[in-house]
Every structure is written in structure tokens, then in C-alpha cells.
Structure 1
Amino acid sequence: MDLSPIKEALSVKSFDKIADICDNLLLQAAAEGVSFHDDWPYAIHLLGYFYVDDCDSARFLWKTIPTAIKDTKPEIVAAWRIGQKLWTRDYAGVYGAIRDYDWSLEAKDMVAAFSDLYTRKMFQLLLSAYSTITIRDLALFLGMTENDATTYVVKNGWTVDATSQMVTVKKPAVKREQKVDSSKLQHLTEYVFHLEH
């Protein structure tokens, strides 16, 4: 089976396309009756699903992987540990699963990119859900040391009270709706009326 489309996507860091490429190649292999189990990059496929936040498809893929392959390829199991943590919303556990395995050269960049993406998602979650948070909890959510997490959020305008060990979240400014000029609205109405008749 030709896995060059996967290798190409990995080389140009198109990690958001990996899951679709893998799915299409699997369908093609099934249609052609090609056996692929031993050579299939299951870990990369699982990571591709995690990258696009599709844990359901990852769970389905995990269930289809033969036990013999899971037993002989530890990177697949390591990738699945990330999925288990995502599934249970164990935010700190996701980072632990990422750090607890020495990823292959093929997977290393993808795992690092996923980790960065996940950190940005966690930051957005904190931004929308909290007004204050402890430095300890902040570090758990962002998968960083307390010092690194504090530095990360201070760069984004959050404030830290070292005495209470609390961080105050800086909410983004609310964008005000732009008022529509009534003459522009009238012009638009006339234009639409003209198109319809």
C-alpha cells in the first residue's frame, strides 16, 4: 500500500489533513482487498483524529486495531492513552500522556503540534469559563510548570496575585455592533428588490 500521501502531509506539517488522508487510504485498501494491518500507521491515524478533535472516530479505529498489533507496537497504545485522557476530560492527563512516551521521528512533530493546539484550546476554555483561577490549577490546565503557566497568561494580559496564588483572567473586549446607516439599508433593499424583479 502506498502511504506516501500520509508521509507528504507529515513532512509539510498538514496535520489537520492526516485523519482524512488515512480514512481515504483505508477505504481504498478495503475496496481493492489489500491487507494493510501490519504496515498501517495506526498511531499517526489516531493522532490525526485527536488533532481535529474527533475522539469518536479515534475510539472506533482503536476498536478495529487487532490485539496482536496493539501488543507489538507501543506507540499505538501511547497514542491511545492521549485519547483516553481526552475522552475523560483529564486535561492534565493529556499532557502527561504526551510526555510519558518517547515518540518516533514520524510522530514527534505531530505530537508537538497537537500539544500546542491543545494548550491554545485550554487557554480559550479558561478564558471563557473563569474569572479567577489558582496558579496550581492554571498549570494543570495548560500542562506547564506554575512559573511557565504564569508567564504564558501574563503575556496575554492576565494578572497574578503572588500572595493569594490567584490569577485574574482578562476577558477580551466585547465588540460593539456597528450601527447600520439607514440610507445604506434603503439602498440594499432597493438592490434586492431589483434582483427579484
Structure 2
Amino acid sequence: MKAKIRIIIIGMVMLCLAGVYAVIDKNRSIYDTDCDASLFQGIFLEEKKEVVQRFVCEEDQLDAIAFKIAADDQIDRKKIRLSYQLTEKASGKQVVKGETDLSRLKVGKFFSVRFPKVTGCKGKEYEFSVFLKERGGDGNVRLFYTPGGSEAAELFYEGDEIDGIGLFRTVTHRFDLETFVVTASFLIYIAVFMRWLYKLFK
């Protein structure tokens, strides 16, 4: 009886650990992830000129937007001021607005801007816009996109449509069932394996 209770407690602890681990930042790419990285193209951002990416949100909430951006080494990234805003297209309501520098930017990685949770997003069309408020020195700042447009994800630079889709991702901090199942399965496997070893060398 005690052995069964112990197994139940251990099982519950493992499920709780898997549940905690499964609360993650879930990324959903707006662009075609099958596109070869060698085909990525860059928009050279000029000060005060706006890039706008339209997209339909696949999640019920948004916690951040991540995008691929790069700055030349000679620019002080702490002095770069990048303004951004998220607008609900149908109503024209601005749901997010802010500024950031690029001090957290890492080469080859997506750069994310976090904001207070936006809810009721699923199926709605949004516009995420960014523009370079201050360059912070000589050099270029580029925002990347994949070639080939889509009616569901249009990209504009200073009002002109670009034949491409920005390398943008929506980020939702939530429980992810797939991560939970994989983690729980791994913990159960370890527990069974350890029990087998215990019996083998007992």
C-alpha cells in the first residue's frame, strides 16, 4: 500500500514539474519557415521611415513580437532608438506602443519586444510597425524579410508594398501541450529506467 502511495506521489510530482516546464514562450512565424536563409533580404532603415507588417494572429493572446534585425558594428546599439506599435487593423485601435534600443541584439538571433499581454487576438488582423527614431551613429540598420508576398501577410516600407514577408514571429507565453507530453514522457522514462536499474543491482 505504501509503495503504491509513493508511486502516486512521485507521479504527481513529475506531472507538476512537466506542467511548470511546459509554460513557455510559444513562437509562431508569420513568414515561410521553409525559405532558404540565403534568400533573406534586408530593408535598410532610414530614420523616421516606417516598416509595417500586416498579419493574422493565430493565438488568443500576444506577449511579444520578435523579428530579425541587424546593426553594423560601428553603431552603438545602446544609442539606437527603435519605435514600434501594434494596431488592430479593423478598428484602427493602437493596442501597443513603445521604444527600445538594440543593446540586447545578438548576431543571427531574433530580437523581441515584450509588452503587456494583449488578449482576444485569434483570427484578428494586426499591423506591427517599426521605425528608426535615432540611428546612434554612422552605419546601417537592416530589417530582414523573405521574398514572395502573401495577401494574409503584407509588408510595407514607407507606404510602398514590398514583395516579401518580414521575418516576424508572434510570441505567446502559455502552457504548451506538446512540450508537456514530451517532458512528462521523458520523466516517466527516466523513472522507469531508474527503477529497473534498482531492481537489477538490488
Question: TM-score, normalized by length of structure 2?
Answer: 0.24
More helix by share: 1
TM-score by length of 1: 0.24
Q: Which is richer in strand?
A: 2
Q: Which has the higher contact order (CA 8 A, sep 6+)?
A: 2
